[in-house]
Structure 1
Amino acid sequence: MPLRRYGVLVGRAVASRAEGGTDTPHFQIQVRGGGEDFRVAVNVLS
């Protein structure tokens, strides 16, 4: 299946935090790029 909309995020990590629960295995990274802020959630268990 081809992706119709595909892009690359280029920015700088400005903050990070681990979610504090056993049912939320994500590490969150705040990235600032192109004058906007983005939240990147990374699943650390899979």
Structure 2
Amino acid sequence: MSNSSKKRVDFIPQLDFVQDLNYLSKLDLTILNGAKDAVSILRDGL
């Protein structure tokens, strides 16, 4: 299956996810980059 035929998934974070991410970002800002990368990978279906 080629990359052009893959469908990108919409990501709508739930409130718990946002709150947890905000809490973790106060501990270490690099967590935001890791979370963003992980969500992008999941959205792209890789």
Shorter chain as denominator, the TM-score bin is under 0.3
What TM-score, normalized by structure 1, do the two folds share?
A: 0.25
Q: Which has the higher strand share?
A: 1
What TM-score, normalized by structure 2, do the two folds share?
A: 0.25
Q: Which has the higher helix share?
A: 2
